[in-house]
Amino acid sequence: MKIVSVHAHVNRELCTGCKTCAMVCPVYAVTVKRENGKPRVDIDIRKCVGCWNCEQRCPEHAINMEPCEPYPLQTDISRWDYKEIEALCRKARFHPQQVVCYCSASRAEELAAAVLAGAKTPDAVVLATGIGAGCGIECNQPIQRFLEAAGWRPERRKDSYQWYGRTTTVWEVSPEVKANHPGFRFLEDRELMDRIVNAPVKP
Amino acid sequence: MDRETISPAGPRISQYGVDPKYIVKRGAELEGMTGVSLRDLFPDMPKVIYPASQGEKNIRQKTEAALARINFSKIKSGNTVNILASHHGFTFLGGKPYAEMLRTVKDFVERETSAKEVRLRAGLGMRFRETEEYIKAHGLDEYFKGKALGIAPIDAGIPIETCLGTLYGLRRAYDADVIIHAHNSDVREVHFHRQVDRAVKPFGMSYARAETRSTYHMNMGPRAANFVARAIFDSDFVQSKYSFSIFMIMSPAGVVNIDADNDLYALNDRVTVGGMKHYGKIINLLGEIDECVVILDFPCPVPYVFAAGVIYANMVGANIDLFDLDNPLPPYTWYTETFYNERGKPLIPGIPPVNPAIKMVVHNYAWTGYPATFFAEHTPTIMVGREQAELFNRDPMNLNYMKHALLAENLDAAMEFAYRTTKTDKVIIFDGATGGVNVSRPLAGHLLRVSPQVNERVGQTLMPKWLAQRDVDLKLLNEVA
């Protein structure tokens, strides 16, 4: 769960229409067009999740974050049978109660609930939970692992840097790599990760 | 023990910290504080080339000497060259030595090769404009003729085929014919990298897309994660562009040398040994503190504020041996952070707690731009100043930080509360003091008393164990300063 407290606003005088803001937006809230030879950027405030990505990457410093009436991005896990949530978490190889987003302190169980509720793409997960609306970095793989575990294969939009693809996990490292590089402790770390994934849910 | 305190690093204008006008008093100005020289603690601390009276001239001279040993045959006539750098280098000693090393590399490569264009591509962490701020502050944009860029993990990516499958680098890191890896040897995030492939790490972090960074912090486990950078560096794609590496060699007291090598793994072994030898002692010394109040007082995010040449995150984990790979989890890593449930209970037995010696944290000055709520959740924290609290409340990575921290109007009020509630008179200040550490007098006495035992333990018992765990030849111990 994330509380959105700021929204992005563009200063059209400074904007050159480079589309960087649209490329880095995690929820496709930005559209860039040309009107009468001039760039026109529109930010859909109803979708803006207050992540600051556009403000941080705009080369012209043309975007400001302005306070808004705070509201949550949250999926209520109590609306689903916890067994279903737990099953999806274990399939994605997460413990339901472990953190999957350091910025919002969101747990795997909420990510699972969002996917069960119909989120089929990374941007839908962000809008449903706020996961991915902080640093936008570390939750990248948890989101993709959950979507894959649920059987979804979202198609990557070429006009966005939002996400590229799921990468490997410690469970998938080849026997050759493990054998050739024992100093990296693949087997012991896999055992540790297994202990976490399979630990009971505590009240 | 009656020494004056050492000048702390000054506040810096940045969008990630409060305006310096709000930093009205520093920890080092508090009554009862004193400065302890690192050389008094560890007499074998190596001689530094910076800070020194010759200033950046030393850096240029040592950089040129290191580059004179490099084979430049990879750089062909008309090639474009990217010098790959990282924001961390600019956080040492005001950033001047790292900036000078980068300038010297550019000049040398232009002089010695027929490269068409030499550019700077500097990676960053989670503060996507931080590197841009450093580039401007050190005039690197002009020096590189407009070809100096900060590259962020959410920028355009490029797939890299590796022995771990497809990983993703940053397109602009690799958009040249040749790359040069220009980094530093500070152990810094030893809680993450555990001094395993320290010199290789930026290939999986500073020069990498969010997918790869998330692989490191979420997919692999705390020690196996360090293989991610090696997989990328060893890939055909990176090897087709890689020329050489150059490192600013750090000790807790400052810059001790500039080292360069075409063979990154040879350089990595030297970095591994040097880091353990000097930083290992400081971090073990911090582990000898039985109780204390920590003051955060440096222009960096919470885990990165410096004392005695190491960062606060090292102090948070100093209750275990961070270099011992038989310890799977440090008390603070992002894996550790994920392994607590919402009520703060570990999901499995054996998760090491945050250093219990830290009785309270007084947050006098530290930046946003890094998810730091974990620290406030696990240690009583007092934020100094409403403006700083508001800054944290607006930061998308720290929306919950102030839910766990108290607010004090000023540093004196915060310290009065800290002394009264913790009942300790031991205080350590993470303020970037160069060549030493600012502490309260009782803590200074304690550190000076225990440092000889730490020196002996690290040198005679721990170093051989640490090196064996990393398959590094013990002979290197005598060769590395």
- Do A67 and A81 share a structural domain? no
- Do A87 and A171 share a structural domain? yes
Partner-chain contact A53 B219, CB within 8 Å:
no
- Do A92 and A45 share a structural domain? no
Domain membership of residue A116 (yes or no) is: yes
Domain boundary among A22, A57, A72: A72
| Residue A132 token pair | 């991915």
pLDDT tens digits along B178-222: 999 999 999 989 999 999 999 999 999 999 999 999 999 999 999
Instruction: Check residue B476 and give its pLDDT.
Output: 84
Domain residue ranges of chain B, discontinuous segments joined by +:
20-45+279-458, 56-251
Q: Which residues of A touch B339 (CB under 8 A)?
A: 95, 98, 196
Q: Which residues of A touch B164 (CB under 8 A)?
A: 167-168, 173, 177
Domain membership of residue A170 (yes or no) is: yes
pLDDT tens digits along A10-35: 999 999 999 999 999 999 999 999 99
**Residue B26 reports pLDDT greater than 60:** yes
Instruction: Check residue B473 and give its pLDDT.
Output: 85
Which H helix or E strand runs over A191?
helix A186-198
Which residues fall within 8 angstroms of residue B233, CB to CB, at 6 or more apart?
B200, B203, B239, B242, B264
A203 pLDDT band (50/70/90 cuts)?
confident
Domain membership of residue A83 (yes or no) is: yes
Over range B107-134, report the average pLDDT. 96
Q: Which residues of A touch B204 (CB under 8 A)?
A: none
B385 pLDDT band (50/70/90 cuts)?
very high
Radius of gyration of chain A (CA): 19
Q: Which residues of B touch A166 (CB under 8 A)?
A: 211
| Residue B348 token pair | 């499995």
Instruction: Check residue A175 and give its pLDDT.
Output: 98
pLDDT tens digits along B289-306: 999 999 999 999 999 999
d(CA A108, CA A131): 10
Angstrom distances, CA of residue B226 to CA of B13, B201, B245, B443 = 34, 7, 19, 35
Instruction: Check residue B480 and give its pLDDT.
Output: 77
pLDDT tens digits along A157-195: 988 999 999 999 999 999 999 999 999 999 999 999 999
Indicate whether this model's pTM tops 0.90.
Answer: yes
User: Chains A and B: how many Cβ contacts under 8 Å?
Assistant: 192
CA closest to A65 among chain B residues: B394
A202 pLDDT band (50/70/90 cuts)?
confident
- Strand, helix or coil for residue B140: helix
Instruction: Check residue B165 and give its pLDDT.
Output: 98
Topology classification of domain B56-251: Rossmann fold (3.40.50)
Instruction: Check residue B114 and give its pLDDT.
Output: 95
Query: What's chain B's average pLDDT?
Result: 96
Which of B219, B373, B377 should we substitute to test contact with A (largest number of A Cβ atoms within 10 Å)?
B219
- Do A161 and A88 share a structural domain? yes
Domain boundary among A16, A51, A72: A72
**Residues B166, B195, B318: CA angle, nearest 5 degrees:** 125
Domain membership of residue A203 (yes or no) is: no
Sign of the dihedral through C-alpha B255, B257, B263, B265: negative
ipTM above 0.90, yes or no: yes
- Do A59 and A115 share a structural domain? no
Over range B16-27, report the average pLDDT. 97
Specify the pairing of strand B117-123 against strand B148-151: parallel
pLDDT tens digits along B231-274: 999 999 999 999 999 999 999 999 999 999 999 999 999 999 99
Domain boundary among A19, A37, A72: A72
Q: Which residues of A touch B345 (CB under 8 A)?
A: 202
Partner-chain contact A5 B337, CB within 8 Å:
no
- Do A114 and A49 share a structural domain? no
Partner-chain contact B159 A164, CB within 8 Å:
yes
Partner-chain contact A2 B212, CB within 8 Å:
no
Partner-chain contact A103 B398, CB within 8 Å:
yes
Over range A108-114, report the average pLDDT. 98
- Do A68 and A13 share a structural domain? yes
CATH number at residue A52: 3.30.70.20
Its domain, for residue A28, covers 2-72
Which of A54, A164, A176 should we substitute to test contact with B (largest number of B Cβ atoms within 10 Å)?
A164
Over range B357-386, report the average pLDDT. 97
pLDDT tens digits along B320-343: 999 999 999 999 999 999 999 999
**Residue B481 reports pLDDT greater than 90:** no
Q: What is the DSSP letter of B121?
A: E
- Do A136 and A59 share a structural domain? no
Q: Which residues of A touch B209 (CB under 8 A)?
A: 164
Contacts by residues B241-244 (CB-CB < 8 Å, ≥ 24 positions apart)? B241/B174, B241/B176, B241/B177, B241/B178, B241/B179, B242/B74, B242/B178, B242/B179, B242/B181, B243/B72, B243/B74, B243/B75, B243/B81, B243/B178, B243/B179, B243/B180, B244/B70, B244/B71, B244/B72, B244/B74, B244/B180, B244/B181
- Do A91 and A47 share a structural domain? no
| Residue B221 token pair | 């486990």
- Do A112 and A194 share a structural domain? yes
Instruction: Check residue A55 and give its pLDDT.
Output: 97
- Do A168 and A90 share a structural domain? yes
Domain membership of residue A9 (yes or no) is: yes
Instruction: Check residue A134 and give its pLDDT.
Output: 93
**Residue B1 reports pLDDT greater than 60:** no
**Residue B310 reports pLDDT greater than 90:** yes
- Do A16 and A42 share a structural domain? yes
The structural domain count of chain A equals 2
